[in-house]
């Protein structure tokens, strides 16, 4: 129980001086892959409502004493001591990750609504003048993974080179179906950017700017794959829309998936459901934080980022999702061959591998 409480304190109070440098906030210096989260929700965007903001303010004020509000400096210190879920929010946008290679080349995983703020950042530099280049991996075309693409600002700058890499041989057709004159003001085929589609066979490994990309089929019906990204001795795995059953022994090809995750530096795993509502939604292709933690334990993962949250989950609900993962790891501590840093992915989180 002490380990659970300490883990939660390390997570939600990362700036307290007595808890300097919790393990998952330590960055490795030098040239290496970097991952930044721009969208962490599943299914639909979930912006905070006015009542939710009001509730956060009330809770924050209930923690404050007069000395906390005495000066700008005391206010800043006070803000650093309150839980992250009150001082900020884990995020409201759907799936999008920015990957930077050791040479700073850009690779984007998915184009949910998180692609919109990323696009606004990119056009401040070469993507704004039509001199930019980026590569997309669209893991599959469920709407939350592509719905932000029409509003990706670099698509409106003539001259930008946009690469789409896919196992789905009709990806261009799928994106065009969403991005057409019946729904938007500009047809996908008439964009001014140079869009290049690269298609691969089932048994191909890809290489994009020195990053080797491998994949494992997880849902044959939806043609959904898990992806592993490797550069040098660093790697991470992206696992979205993963409808695994619990206990894991109920799943076919379990050893195959464990081998695919094996000893990765970072496992980003779908935790759309809690274990409780997973039972109620057995036909929905999502997993929960206990499933994610079990895979991390079995595969000797260094860091586990919980991800792709249910849009109905509040920030307080997500704290409970995190607690469930910590509790599961505590209960299975004897099975852990390595220390696993578990975190809730939030928009703006940057990790170096």
Ordered DSSP codes for 205-235? PEEETTEEEEEEEEETTTTEEEEEEEETTEE
**pLDDT for 182:** 81
CB 205, CB 213: distance < 8 Å:
yes
Q: Is residue 314 part of a domain?
A: yes
**pLDDT for 119:** 97
CATH number of the structural domain spanning residue 148: 3.60.15.10
**pLDDT for 274:** 62
Distance, CA of 18 to CA of 222 (rounded, Å): 47
Q: Is residue 66 part of a domain?
A: no
Q: Is residue 105 part of a domain?
A: yes
Range of the domain at 167: 2-48+89-352
**pLDDT for 161:** 95
CB 83, CB 13: distance < 8 Å:
yes
**pLDDT (tens place) for every residue of the chain, 353 residues total:** 444 444 455 444 443 332 333 333 334 334 789 999 999 999 899 999 999 999 999 999 999 999 999 999 999 999 999 999 999 999 999 999 999 999 999 999 999 999 999 999 999 999 999 999 999 999 989 889 999 999 999 998 899 999 999 999 999 999 999 887 787 877 887 787 899 999 998 888 899 999 999 999 886 555 778 999 999 999 999 998 877 877 888 888 899 999 999 999 999 999 987 655 544 444 456 789 999 999 999 999 999 999 999 999 999 999 999 999 999 999 999 998 888 999 999 999 999 99
Q: Is residue 76 part of a domain?
A: no
Q: Is residue 68 part of a domain?
A: no
Helix (H) or strand (E) holding 79, with range, is helix 72-81
Q: Is residue 67 part of a domain?
A: no
- Computed from CA positions of residues 260, 264, 268, 274, in that sequence, does the dihedral angle turn out positive or negative? positive
Helix (H) or strand (E) holding 164, with range, is strand 161-166
Q: Is residue 18 part of a domain?
A: yes
**pLDDT for 17:** 30
Is it true that the peptide bond before 180 is cis, omega within 30 degrees of 0? Answer: no
CB 79, CB 111: distance < 8 Å:
no
Quick check: pTM over 0.85?
yes
Distance, CA of 168 to CA of 223 (rounded, Å): 8
What's the domain count of the chain? 1
Buried b / exposed e over 145-159, threshold 16 CB at 10 Å, is bbbbbbbbbbbbbee
Q: Is residue 72 part of a domain?
A: no
Nearest 5°: phi and psi at 73? Answer: -65, -45
């Amino acid at each position: 129980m002490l380990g659970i409480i300490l883990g939660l304190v390390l997570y939600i109070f990362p700036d307290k001086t007595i808890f300097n440098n919790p393990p998952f906030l330590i960055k490795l210096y030098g040239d290496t892959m970097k991952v930044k989260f721009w969208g962490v929700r599943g299914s639909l965007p979930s912006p905070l409502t006015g009542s939710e903001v009001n509730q956060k303010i009330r809770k924050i004020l209930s923690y404050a004493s007069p000395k906390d509000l005495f000066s700008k400096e005391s206010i800043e210190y006070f803000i650093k001591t309150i839980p992250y879920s009150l001082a900020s929010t884990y995020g409201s946008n759907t799936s999008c990750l920015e990957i930077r290679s050791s040479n700073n080349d850009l690779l984007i995983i998915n184009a949910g609504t998180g692609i919109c703020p990323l696009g606004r950042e990119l056009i401040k530099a070469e993507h704004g003048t039509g001199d930019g280049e980026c590569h997309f991996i669209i893991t599959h075309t469920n709407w939350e993974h592509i719905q932000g693409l029409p509003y990706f600002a670099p698509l409106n700058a003539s001259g930008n080179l946009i690469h789409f890499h896919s196992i789905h041989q009709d990806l261009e057709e799928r994106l065009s179906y969403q991005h057409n004159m019946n729904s938007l003001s500009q047809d996908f085929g008439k964009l001014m950017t140079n869009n290049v589609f690269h298609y691969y066979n089932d048994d191909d490994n890809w290489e994009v700017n020195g990053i080797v990309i491998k994949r494992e089929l997880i849902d044959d019906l939806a043609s959904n794959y898990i992806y592993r990204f490797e550069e040098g001795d660093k790697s991470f795995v992206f696992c979205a829309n993963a409808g695994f059953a619990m206990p894991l022994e109920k799943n076919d090809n379990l050893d195959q998936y464990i081998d695919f995750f094996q000893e990765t530096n970072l496992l980003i795993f779908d935790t759309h459901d809690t274990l409780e509502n997973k039972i109620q939604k057995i036909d929905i292709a999502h997993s929960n934080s206990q499933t994610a933690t079990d895979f991390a334990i079995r595969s000797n993962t260094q860091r586990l980022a919980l991800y792709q949250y249910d849009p109905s989950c509040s920030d307080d609900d997500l704290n409970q999702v995190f607690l469930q993962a910590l509790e599961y790891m505590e209960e299975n501590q004897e099975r852990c061959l390595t220390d696993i840093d578990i975190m809730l992915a939030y928009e703006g989180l940057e990790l170096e591998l």
